[in-house]
Amino acid sequence: MSNKNLLVELFVEELPPKALKQLGDVFSSAIFENLVRQGLTVGSADVESYASPRRLGVLIGNVASQAADKSVQQKLMPVSVGMDASGNATPALLKKLASLGADASVVPTLQRQSDGKADVLMLDLVVKGATLAEGLQKALDEALAKLPIPKVMGYQLQDGWTTVNFVRPAHKLIALHGENVIDISVLGLKAGRETLGHRFEAKESPIAILEANDYPKRIEEVGGVIPRFSLRKIAMQKALFAAAQIEGLKLAGDENDPLYDEVTALVENPNVLVGEFEEAFLAVPQECLILTMKANQKYFPLLDSAGKLSNKFLIVSNIRPDDPSAVIEGNERVVRPRLSDAKFFFDQDRKKTLESRVDGLSRVVYHNKLGSQGERVERVRAIARAIAEKLNVDVQQVDTAARLAKADLLTDMVGEFPELQGIMGGYYAKHDGLGDVVAAAIEDHYKPRFAGDALPRNDVGIAVALTDKLETLVGMFGIGQIPTGDKDPFALRRHALGVIRMLIEGNLPLPLAQLLKEAAKPFGDLIGEASAALSDFIFDRLAGNLREQGYSAQEVDAVISLRPQRLGDIAKRLAAVRAFSALPEASALAAANKRVGNILKKVEGEISTEVSDALLKETAEQALSEALSHIAPKANAAFDAGDYSGSLQALAALRAPVDAFFESVMVNAEDAALRANRLSLLRQLYGAMNRVADLSKLSA
């Protein structure tokens, strides 16, 4: 057996760009993992994945020509079935052995083992290792079956009658182990060593790959293709950044812009060029121009140092002509009608006010169980006014923003680009003379749209955005549209996180339960009762978000389990818990608190918090009662003042009397009056210790 590098490449017609990266990752990983399972390579082997518009490939190091033989134990059958009363093999056993290539001579070597139900017969076998041709055929077949193909197409092979189903027609297959072609076939193709390069830039056609290791260099130098997706993306980004810098401008969007992956999937060897459009188009909101250039043309818009759109953009071309002027002029010609459409939509939309569009929302279905967008607007207005009053925000401005926030759904621009919802409403509100505050609130009412997105810029926007998300959450939960697994068609998880962020980062004095109750009122009989389930849903999202921020599961559970209604207090509670956990008394008090909680849970009926001093017979219970009478007021005063750390710090002094109590006092005394009094004392203790957080959650 010899170990060499293995190259597999499937050459196809242009693959769907939005799926290319994932197709390449799955193709390479599935082949590699399958070969590892078969013992043809090791998990630590080097793996290079290739994915370009017309190829999927992988180069795997240290691949054997044949896997090593393996010793395995084969379970045959129960002893009672395989052996007769005299200890001889039954016909059933002999038949089973024959199917495995063995005969009666191995019967004495069979082992007996228990499988938990009965004794069974086991046969030691040596399984011959798979050859690379066998193993690679299996790995490639399974890899193709696993590919996340967006849409399968059928096509005929050259014989004119065989139909093959794949993401795109496949034309060539390479399978090289070192310099040797592996005898495999797939999709009607027999493996060889030839492939094709760039349609226009390749120096040879076809390109022969003589040795597997030669592939990446040869396909780039002779074929004019950068085959690795990641390296092609890096090369493209470097060229884009350099071109923007030369122009004294910067790219719109951030490094995570999905356009980078999409364009990487469209070109085989990126060439960045600079194009321009007429400055007159800059009168159109830049969000519209940026979106139409990126979504429709896959161009990269350029901004000036102030973040304003320039009239220059970057083109990523798949060809490198000596004179690129024709390519640039062609792209400039193509973008002009797109920008003209955006300008036309913008001009037409401004001929009607947002106010004049509101009535039309009654004809737009929101949800078949929750009515039209017009009905939804009225619910949002009612909830927003109530929230505005509680936040002491201008109710009239909030009501105006809430009434007009969805009106841009009926504009031509949003009809063409739904991603501009809210943004266009803000522009049209300014055009209608509604003022910056209302315009910003309309623009911001969808915020935060994603993790890390900014919150609304003003209090009016906060009130409307909070209302918009609450109305969606309460309505959907009220009709049973609750997210399950990874399915969340109404983005309720994102809405919940938006509510959480606004309540916490804005430190809003709005108890969650009261908010949910207020949000449910305008629905009337349209929805069922769902506040408990929705509250749990929101707290679950909050808990997950806090863990992502670095808080431990114990810290989060201790605070969240109390369901604190002022979410703006959460950070202070967590800080207090963390500080308390560092105290030497913390562990013992947490354990004692858990013990107290378990005792109280077992008691049927209500437990009074009134403690009779006359029934405090033991010195330890007297000491605990006295300590509690001094310490609890200090802890409560600190809690009421919002000093949660101070509240927990004060409770640390209870450790000694609590320890002494449990060492010498029998809570479940035979005397019913004594027992009830001691339970009341513990009830007082439990209440005092668990206002900031459930300290029992800190006990290991």
How far apart are alpha carbons 214 and 210 in whole angstroms? 7
Give the structural domain span for 198: 3-67+131-221
pLDDT of 1 higher than 60: no
Query: Would residue 541 count as lying in a domain?
Result: no
Query: Would residue 549 count as lying in a domain?
Result: no
- pLDDT value for 40: 92
The number of folded domains in the chain is 5
- Examine the domain organization and report whether 275 and 341 are in the same domain: yes
How far apart are alpha carbons 546 and 555 in whole angstroms? 10
- pLDDT value for 601: 87
Query: Would residue 172 count as lying in a domain?
Result: yes
- Examine the domain organization and report whether 121 and 42 are in the same domain: no
| Tens of pLDDT, residues 140-157 | 999 999 999 988 999 888
Query: Would residue 147 count as lying in a domain?
Result: yes
Model confidence, pTM: 0.80
Least confident of 223-227, 271-275, 641-645: 641-645
- Examine the domain organization and report whether 528 and 607 are in the same domain: no
Residue 322 confidence class, pLDDT cut points 50, 70, 90:
very high
| Tens of pLDDT, residues 380-429 | 999 999 999 999 999 999 999 999 999 999 999 999 999 999 999 999 99
- Examine the domain organization and report whether 116 and 52 are in the same domain: no
Least confident of 508-517, 605-614, 629-638: 605-614
Using DSSP's 3-state secondary structure scheme, residue 521 falls into helix
For residues 275-283, give the mean pLDDT.
Answer: 96
pLDDT of 477 higher than 90: yes
| Tens of pLDDT, residues 356-365 | 999 999 999 9
- Examine the domain organization and report whether 580 and 683 are in the same domain: yes
For residues 176-184, give the mean pLDDT.
Answer: 96
* Cβ atoms of 269 and 198 closer than 8 Å: yes
- Examine the domain organization and report whether 217 and 233 are in the same domain: no
- Examine the domain organization and report whether 653 and 688 are in the same domain: yes
- Give percent above pLDDT 70 in the chain: 100
How far apart are alpha carbons 123 and 503 in whole angstroms? 66
- pLDDT value for 175: 97
Using DSSP's 3-state secondary structure scheme, residue 196 falls into coil
- pLDDT value for 350: 96
The separation between the first and the last C-alpha atoms of the chain, rounded to the nearest angstrom, is: 54
Q: Residue 322 corresponds to which tokens in the numbers above?
A: 């000596």
pLDDT of 127 higher than 80: no
Mark which of 349, 365, 400 sits at the end of a domain: 349
- Examine the domain organization and report whether 114 and 12 are in the same domain: no
CATH of the domain at 595: 1.10.730.10
Query: Would residue 411 count as lying in a domain?
Result: yes
How far apart are alpha carbons 322 and 325 in whole angstroms? 9
Asked if the peptide bond before residue 584 counts as cis, ω within 30 degrees of 0, the response is no
CATH of the domain at 403: 1.10.3210
- Examine the domain organization and report whether 92 and 166 are in the same domain: no
Mark which of 309, 330, 349 sits at the end of a domain: 349
Higher pLDDT: 31 or 156? It is 31
Query: Looking at 277-370, which runs of residues are DSSP E strands?
Result: 300-303, 309-317, 365-367
Q: Residue 409 corresponds to which tokens in the numbers above?
A: 């759904």
- pLDDT value for 569: 92
Residue type, 212: A
Let me know how long the chain is.
700
Measure the CA dihedral 400/398/350/298, to 10°: -150
Q: Residue 146 corresponds to which tokens in the numbers above?
A: 């696993």
- pLDDT value for 609: 81
| Tens of pLDDT, residues 81-119 | 889 888 888 999 889 888 888 888 888 888 888 877 888
Contacts of 382 (CB under 8 A, 6+ apart): 521, 522
Residue type, 580: F
CATH of the domain at 26: 3.30.70
For residues 178-184, give the mean pLDDT.
Answer: 95
- pLDDT value for 111: 86
Query: Would residue 82 count as lying in a domain?
Result: yes
Residue 253 confidence class, pLDDT cut points 50, 70, 90:
confident
| Tens of pLDDT, residues 56-66 | 999 999 999 99
Mark which of 318, 349, 380 sits at the end of a domain: 349
E strand or H helix at 237, and its extent? helix 229-246
| Tens of pLDDT, residues 375-384 | 999 999 999 9
pLDDT of 606 higher than 90: no
- Examine the domain organization and report whether 335 and 308 are in the same domain: yes
- Examine the domain organization and report whether 620 and 479 are in the same domain: no
Query: Would residue 88 count as lying in a domain?
Result: yes
Least confident of 269-278, 536-545, 600-609: 600-609
Q: In whole numbers, what is the pLDDT of the chain averaged over residues?
A: 92
Contacts of 83 (CB under 8 A, 6+ apart): 89, 90, 93, 121
Least confident of 53-57, 99-103, 283-287: 99-103
How far apart are alpha carbons 243 and 686 in whole angstroms? 66
| Tens of pLDDT, residues 509-549 | 999 999 999 999 999 888 888 788 999 999 999 999 999 99
Q: Residue 290 corresponds to which tokens in the numbers above?
A: 């940026």
301 bridge partner residues: 313
How far apart are alpha carbons 22 and 10 in whole angstroms? 15
Helices (H), 506-618: 512-520, 531-548, 553-560, 570-581, 586-601
- Examine the domain organization and report whether 575 and 609 are in the same domain: yes
Query: Would residue 418 count as lying in a domain?
Result: yes
